Chain A
Amino acid sequence: KMAAAVRGALRRLWRPPAARRGLAKSAGPRSVRQLREAEEAAPVFQYAGKAAKRKDRVFVWGFCYSGALGIPSFVKPDAGWKKPRRIQSTPYRLETEEKISSAACGYGFTLLSSSTTDITKVWGMGLNKDSQLGFQRSIRDRTKGYEYVLEPSPIPLPLEKPQQTRVLQVSCGRAHSLILTDSEGVFTMGNNSYGQCGRQVVEDETYSESHLIHQLKEFDSRVVQVVCGQDHSLFRTKKGAVYACGWGADGQTGLGHYNITSVPTKLRGDIAGVNIIQVSSYGDCCLAVSDEGEVFGWGNSEYLQLASVTETTQVNVPRHLPFKIGKIKEAACGGTGNVVLTEEGNVFVWGYGILGKGPNLIETAEPEMIPPSLFGWSDFNPDIRVAHVRCGLSQFAALTNRGELFVWGKNLRGCLGTGRMEDQYFPWRVTIPGEVVDVACGVDHMVGMVKSFT
């Protein structure tokens, strides 16, 4: 009787199959076929198309208080609790509206220019106490100008055809700047107490908040390169001639005298009749490279820069420097040291200071080669060559054909960009997220023009 009752209870509990709920199957390990199908069904994302172009970027690093880096938050932070940044020791991205084709660093200020046909072609930031960035009208008081420009601000140029002329190159000295255009000559602005702007010196002229931008057009042919020394200016024309004006006490104008020159005058001496393809200067010494690979120098020689030809410490006429190191492609002058690049891609340094061959080499009058293995050359990478050399006041920079930037020299206020504050006695790589196309060196800051990788 108990068994019948249990059987009856069981029969009642048994539900017909049609009323059973269809519960989901438990998720066991998926089979290979399921995984493959899931993989094929997954959506494909596209981050860059086939025609994706490499972007052009500008990086800045060095001393921030002068505003020369162009990032206002370094000097005047956005939030009250943040402290102003004194030194930016690694490259920092600077956002620009246009693609910057040329940059130049002066003594506490920077100029950026783009080869566009828009109205605004040149931007400036940093010190403006001598109107080296033109007249920057203050927003608070419309009659006064800014003494420090913290952001890249447009520089209005008095162009005749503003929508056709293109700015080719800019250059900055201690307190003056030069802007080279393709059809309207050279524009100069800033301090003119030594005639470095190419116009007559006016006694007791106040250079701050000045609207004056001078235009220079009388050269034997079109000007193709402008270079600013500390207080002098050099112009190289298409025919291979070099003109100079400005302070000449060290003979850096190369005109045969030690006075100031206020009108650009053609240089003679050993470069008369020679086709010069590049000029360089930053301090008081100047170098010029001819199309045959010969190098000429003039100016200050207190640091053995020209000691290979003369014992005098000031050379006021261009002299040929008889170096037997091969055909020279490019030269760069710093404050106390010089560097040249030969056709084979070797880098030679001479002068005084941290030259890049270890702490033992402080000064030399004859060029010494920097071993290519320091620039990344090895049996594994035999095609690495140095493509360009640049000089700041006490630092050097070299660009390789792979787009790597190597710096060495005195690390004044973090200008080397290595992230450390110590001086660098041999070439050291700077980590920049991109391929470095060009770099401009200043006294305590540097600007790099970079193309992104992809």
Chain B
Amino acid sequence: LNAAPGRAPRQRVRFLPAPAGGDGVATGLVATRVPMLADHPLVRGPRFRRLKIGAGHRLDVKASGVFVLGVGHGNKLLTDLYNCHLTKVYTVSGLFGKATDDFSDMGKLIEKTTFDHITREKLERILAVIQGTNHKALLMHSNIDMKTQEAYELAVKGLIRPMGKSPPIITAIRCLQFALPEFQLEIHCLHETQQYLRKIVHEIGLELKSSAVCTQVRRIRDGVFTLDDALLRTHWNLQSIQNAIRECQLKVQIELEKTLG
């Protein structure tokens, strides 16, 4: 970063004596623009000594996916984005037939159960119920008085959302793939942790009178940032980071204006 051409040094108007005529006669002063000495690279030193990097929503060790970082001014934008309370989307893969202590397949085995009675229809029924109860929790934690006309209008448009602290809420959940014993769900949620998602998988297994563990949690969207905007490990270099920041700037600004006004 420091090797890149920096800002041009500031100019200052100084009154310098004009180049001498030849005789040494006192001549007038000429105003010229001269680069300031204080801005000389040798005086100033390297432009960037430290970078302030902040992290967005947490992603734990066993999970993968989009992880948002902010650089410099981006940290302030990160706090604003956090206050927008936008939903995140995860793809969660699970496996029927096992129950472990930490709800993932790397944990200590607690119990094994049969799962041949599970059908896609039963799973979808359970998912519909989860969605229904979470929708109710969404309305309840949003701290809006249900008796007002504004609450009714927001509920019709589906814009009611908790704008403060709340327990984890799932706004939408659906089954992407179902091939016994594996299944994959797409979950849209707010204020959650990845361990909570694994717990949900475990509870789905219990509701279906069997047991389930979570094999993979992958975040595919975090507010406005999707998988397409994310940089792979091979792209962690200055050029790609600068391009990514430039592309996302507009999206972030629009979203912030829309939500926070």
| A→B interface (CB under 8 Å) | 38-39, 42-50, 52, 357-360, 371, 373-374, 376, 378, 380-381, 402-404, 422-426, 428-429, 431, 435, 453-454
Given contacts A376-B132, A425-B146, A429-B136, contact A49 B117 (CB under 8 A): yes
Q: B114 contacts which of A44, A358, A425 (Cβ < 8 Å)? A: A44
Bound-state CA distance A67–B172 (Å) is 40
Q: Which residues of A contact B208 (CB under 8 A)?
A: 454
Complex CA–CA separation, A426 to B156 (angstroms): 9
Nearest A residue to B100 via CB reads A39
Are B109 and A48 closer than 8 Å at their CB atoms? no
Q: 5 new A-B pairs (CB below 8 Å) besides A403-B125, A453-B125? A: A42-B112, A358-B153, A378-B172, A453-B129, A453-B207
- Cβ < 8 Å to A, chain B residues 117-165: 117, 122, 125-126, 128-129, 131-133, 135-136, 139, 146-149, 151-153, 155-158
Query: Does residue B247 face the partner (Cβ distance < 8 Å to A)?
Result: no
B152 proximity list for chain A (CB < 8 A): 357-359, 425-426
Is the beta-carbon distance between A431 and B133 smaller than 8 angstroms? yes
A-B complex: 5 closest residue pairs judged by Cβ atoms: A358-B152, A48-B209, A47-B209, A46-B114, A44-B112
Name B's A-contacting residues (CB within 8 A). Answer: 97, 109, 111-114, 116-117, 122, 125-126, 128-129, 131-133, 135-136, 139, 146-149, 151-153, 155-158, 172, 174, 188, 207-210
Closest-CB distance, A425 to chain B (whole angstroms):
6
Pairwise interchain contact B146-A454, C-beta atoms closer than 8 A: no
Taken together as a complex, chains A and B put the C-alpha atoms of A403 and B210 apart, in Å, by: 23
Q: In this complex, what residue of A is CB-closest to B152? A: A358
Contact between A453 and B147, CB atoms less than 8 A apart: no
Q: Within 8 Å CB of A50, what residues of B?
A: 116-117
How many interface contacts (CB-CB < 8 Å) are there between A and B?
A: 95
Q: Contacts A45-B111, A46-B113; is A373 near B156 (CB within 8 Å)?
A: yes
- List, in ascending order, chain B residues with CB within 8 A of A425's CB: 146-147, 152
User: Given A43, A48, A429, which contacts B135 in the complex, CB threshold below 8 Å?
Assistant: A429
28 contacts between A and B (CB under 8 A): A38-B109, A39-B112, A42-B109, A42-B111, A45-B112, A45-B113, A45-B114, A50-B116, A52-B209, A358-B151, A359-B149, A360-B149, A371-B156, A373-B157, A374-B155, A376-B135, A378-B172, A402-B125, A404-B132, A422-B146, A426-B155, A428-B139, A428-B146, A429-B132, A435-B125, A453-B122, A453-B126, A454-B209
Residues B209 and A373 in contact, CB atoms below 8 Å apart: no
Please judge, given known A-B contacts A359-B152, A374-B156, A425-B146, whether A454 and B112 are in contact too, CB under 8 Å.
no
Contact call B158/A373, Cβ cutoff below 8 A: yes
Tell me how far the C-beta of B139 lies from the nearest C-beta in chain A, rounded to whole angstroms: 8
> Min CB distance, B209 to chain A, in Å?
4
B136 pairs with A431, CB closer than 8 A: yes
Whether A380 pairs with B172 at a CB distance below 8 angstroms is: yes
Q: Is the Cβ of B109 less than 8 Å from the Cβ of A39?
A: yes
How far apart are the CA atoms of A428 and B207 in the complex, in Å?
A: 24
- Residue of A358, A403, A429, A431 contacting most chain B CB atoms (<10 Å): A358
Contacts of B209 in A (CB 8 A): 47-48, 52, 454
Q: Are B210 and A48 in contact (CB under 8 A)?
A: yes
Most buried by A among B133, B149, B174: B149
